[in-house]
Amino acid sequence: MWYVIQTITGGEELLIRLFKEMIPEEYYRECFYIKRESASKEDDGWHIHEEIMFPGYFFVDTENPKEIYMSLKQIPKLTKLLREENETFLAVSEEEQQFLEEIQSAGHIVRRSLVRLDMERKIIEADGPVGRYIDNIVRQRVRKRYVLIEKTLLGEKRKILFGIRLEEDKLTDG
């Protein structure tokens, strides 16, 4: 089962490194954060880069949540990086886990989805993660190459940003 651990935004990578160093491996199968491909326009085309999809969160796949929680609380280096609220360690529901598994590819990366537009530049068809949740799009910014999809995640309705691409997009080398 997946659990999410809240941390200070920007501390995800350091926390995962410390987690792997200090939490016994037999307590968990994997810990990770999810990244998404994003695109930014440059003079010679689109530059692709990765960003953290859910800043301030990382995920742990475990059947031993109590042991992990107690271990986290006993390691001062880790507790400094955890958020100061009661809800720092939350179970991910089966439906939420299925959604997260469906949108990502190897390496926990959410790839940009190829979209097709109508004459008014509205998305009418999409591949990948956006295609699976096309009915949940609440905002599209084709010029900026993203959409917002509304989905309940971690117990709250959230607008989640997904990268998109068009057939005619030219990528830069860098």
pLDDT tens digits, residue range 59-118? Answer: 999 999 888 888 887 776 665 555 555 556 788 999 999 999 999 999 999 999 999 999
* DSSP summary character for residue 49: E
**163 within 8 A of 37, measured Cβ to Cβ:** yes
Please report which helix (H) or strand (E) contains residue 102, including its range: helix 94-103
**Cα–Cα distance, 71 to 78 (Å, whole number):** 9
Q: Is residue 171 part of a domain?
A: no
pLDDT tens digits, residue range 125-160? Answer: 999 999 999 999 999 999 999 999 999 998 889 999
pLDDT tens digits, residue range 6-65? Answer: 888 888 888 899 899 889 999 999 999 999 999 998 888 899 999 999 998 889 999 998
pLDDT score recorded for residue 55? 92
Q: Is residue 9 part of a domain?
A: yes
Q: Is residue 174 part of a domain?
A: no
Q: How many domains are there within the chain?
A: 1
H-type alpha helices, 33-141? 65-73, 76-81, 94-103, 128-132
Q: Is residue 98 part of a domain?
A: yes
**43 within 8 A of 122, measured Cβ to Cβ:** no
Q: Does the pLDDT of residue 3 top 70, yes or no? A: yes
Q: Is residue 99 part of a domain?
A: yes
Q: Is residue 10 part of a domain?
A: yes
pLDDT score recorded for residue 79? 59
**36 within 8 A of 43, measured Cβ to Cβ:** no
pLDDT score recorded for residue 150? 97
Q: Is residue 173 part of a domain?
A: no
Residue 46 belongs to domain spanning: 2-165
**108 within 8 A of 52, measured Cβ to Cβ:** no
Distances (CA, A) of 79 to 9, 14, 58: 14, 12, 14
* Chain mean position to CA 123: 22
pLDDT score recorded for residue 130? 97
Question: Shortest CA distance to 103 belongs to which of 60, 125, 136, 63?
Answer: 136
Q: Is residue 149 part of a domain?
A: yes
